[in-house]
Amino acid sequence: MGLRLFTLEMAVIAALAAMPAAAQEEGAKYGGTLTYMIPADAPPSFDGHREGTFALIHTAAPFYSVLVRVNPYNPGSTTDIVCDLCTAMPQPTDDGKTWTFKIREGVKFHNGDPLIAADIAASLNAIAFPAKDVLSPRSDNFMMVKDIAAPDSTTVVIHLKFATSAFWPALANPFNWIYEKKILDKDPHWYEKNIMGSGPFKFAGYEVGQSIKGVRNPDYYHKGLPYLDGFVGINAPKQAVQLDAIRADRAAVEFRGYPPTAIGQLKQQLDGQITVQQSDWNCGSAVWFNHKKKPFDDVRVRRALTLAIDRWGSAPGLSRIANVHTVGSIVFPGSPLAPSKAQLQTLAGFWPDIEKSRAEARRLLKEAGAEGLSFELLNRDIDQPYKYNGTWLVDQWSKIGAHVTQHVVPTGPWFAAFRSGDFAVGLGGNCQSIVNPPIDLQTWLPRSVSMANYGYYDDQKEIDLYEKMLHEPDLAKQRADMWDFVKWLTDDQAHIAFLLWWNRLVPLRSYVNGWKISPSHYLNQDLSTIWLSPPHCGKCADEPPPKPAG
């Protein structure tokens, strides 16, 4: 057919083929209620299409289905995407621009209505092409999509404007919940205040700002799932409360993650009763240099400041106290598009010899007439990892003679300063859900493209490099294009100074099984694969409970 399959899709299909036909895990028991902490206050609304907070995913993801998703048995992979509501991952036609999905038959919404292709098309259309009065912050993720249609009740066809590897992760975004078309047509805002999906659990109760409850969906279409009778998610924004609750077994797990010190304390207190899963996190911290403020309009100054930071030398120590871990470029380290270590070590600030790097930094500052540079670092009043990173940076920059003070402000004023440009150097970051580098790094695109770019610069070459990379269908070539983009952004121009990737450490009581960590606290949260060891599973049956009559 003359179409080169993306390596990404090949990995997907291979993974699909490798999946067991039966979903049931060996030794898994049915029954019990999982109580977990939601480390946040109540989400603003229940509508996954409009919200961006993990608080909503941790609250309501178990109630919903999606078309495709990251493989719940292999969520650590950045490329393993499998069907949820479709029957098989499709083959592309039209040079990778047309994708036809066959939809499972017999799936029901929790209200008893059948879920058909039209519901999926309507939901995805609502995200990609929102109505005028509907908020859809991720519509840009679907910029490659031309249209989405449901020609019959079991078929969804998606036409793309151009073939790109960014399509699959965008489609597998965990917020792409499938709503009932009938309800959406009647009131596109209905799902903001109501929960009604087709996922593994049915809504059982909600105490605003306090807890959410779900019960097993006996009609769930993945045979043998879910294992749990139900779940209770308890909102608790304070870390101390969450840790106390896990210690006292008032909750079995918190899915977002903790810094290493808290994990160490829990391990000590619950010797043998707790397991910890670790992953790189698809969140990275970075320094914004405001190009409108002198001397940060000078590339030599920006390069000097990034050259001064000893990422390789600091990461091991910093990772013991803060939730940062891996040294990497702006591309998620596990992604096939990420540069190699050898490439990375050629970027400013990533050189293996820090003394050489700092000597170069001092030389650049002198050349730019900025010796003894003094400035204020705008930072956010959040410990992990903002304040840790800020303190670290102050120390690192002092090594090249820069005098830096931190200006720590609450989230509101921090955003306000970034948006008004009333800062010289600021500590920010980029946190995404599913790993999708071509989309994730849109944050770093120049101001004319990305409103979230607080460097306040324009750079046509950067845009051109990005467009070239985005539109390249061949993964090997795309990786080379990505490297050009990364090098231009963080080395040649040093528009930003990328720091370290965050580290995700999730503690689970040892009786919690079947959950696997992923690079994002947004992923793999439908709880369908989780099961509890005796006696926490109650009757602990080997078979799913019979469907209730009627």
209 burial via Cβ count (<10 Å: 0-12, 13-18, 19+): exposed
Pick from 393, 489, 407, 481: nearest CA to 450: 489
Task: Kindly tell me which of 207 and 464 has the beta carbon lying closer to another protein.
Answer: 207
What is the identity of the amino acid at 293? K
Which residues share a beta bridge with 541? 30
Cis peptide before 295 (omega within 30 of 0): yes
Task: Report DSSP letters for 8-51, one per residue.
Answer: HHHHHHHHHHHS-SS-PPTT--B--EEEEEE-SS--S-S-TTT-
List the structure tokens of 377.
């670092």
Contacts of 359 (CB under 8 A, 6+ apart): none
Assigned token pair, 73: 């048995």
Residue with tokens 């499938």: 178
Rounded Cα distance, 103 and 124, in Å: 14
Q: Using CA atoms, how far apart are residues 488 and 468, in angstroms rounded to an integer?
A: 13
Strands 33-38 and 253-254: parallel
Pick the closer one to another protein by CB: 241 or 394: 241
Exposed, middle or buried by CB within 10 Å (0-12, 13-18, 19+), for 132? exposed
By beta-carbon proximity to another protein, the closer residue of 44 and 151 is 44
Considering the complex, what minimum distance in angstroms separates the CB of residue 103 from another protein? 29
Determine the Cα–Cα distance for residues 42 and 39; give it in Å rounded to an integer: 10
In the numeric block, the tokens 């106390």 are attached to 244
In the complex, what is the shortest distance from the CB of residue 439 to another protein, in angstroms, rounded to a whole number? 9
State how far the Cα of 516 lies from the Cα of 229, in Å rounded to an integer: 20
In the complex, minimum distance from the CB of residue 440 to another protein, in angstroms, rounded to a whole number = 9
Nearer to another protein, 134 or 321 (CB): 134
* CA–CA gap between residue 514 and residue 365 (Å, rounded): 53
Residue 514 structure tokens = 């079947």
Report in angstroms how near the CB of residue 140 gets to another protein at its nearest: 6
Distance CA(451)–CA(535), nearest Å, equals 52
- Burial group, residue 495, by CB count within 10 angstroms (0-12, 13-18, 19+): buried
Q: Least distance in Å: CB of 236 to another protein?
A: 5
**DSSP code of residue 176:** -
Binding-site ranges for another protein (CB under 8 A): 41-42, 44-45, 51-54, 133-137, 139-140, 192-193, 207-211, 232, 234-238, 240-241, 244-245, 247-251, 269, 283, 410-413, 415-417, 419-420, 428-432, 442-443, 450-452
Residue 433 CB, shortest distance to another protein, in Å, is 8
* Closer of 143 and 480 to another protein (Cβ): 143
Strand ranges in 153-273 using DSSP code E only, listed in sequence order: 155-160, 201-207, 211-216, 230-235, 253-254
In this structure, the number of other CB atoms found within 10 A of the CB of residue 240 comes to: 9
Return the number of the residue (211 or 278) whose C-beta is nearest another protein. Answer: 211
What is the spatial distance between Cα 456 and Cα 259, in angstroms, rounded to a whole number?
32
CB 247, min distance to another protein, A:
5
* 445/448 Cα distance (integer angstroms): 8
* Between 1 and 248, CB nearer to another protein: 248
Q: How far is the CB of 278 from another protein (least distance, A)?
A: 20
Q: 304 and 368 in contact (C-beta within 8 Å)?
A: yes
Minimum Å gap between C-beta 265 and another protein is: 12
Nearer to another protein, 300 or 495 (CB): 495
- Measured from the CB atom, is 376 or 474 closer to another protein? 376
Nearer to another protein, 31 or 233 (CB): 233
Q: In whole angstroms, how close is the CB of 297 to another protein at the nearest point?
A: 23
- Nearest approach in angstroms of CB 43 to another protein is 8
CB of 235 to another protein, least distance (A): 7
Q: Return the axis-axis angle of helices 239-247 and 260-269, rounded to nearest 10°.
A: 20
> Based on CB atoms, which residue is closest to another protein, 6 or 466?
466
Q: Smaller CB distance to another protein: residue 173 or 529? A: 173
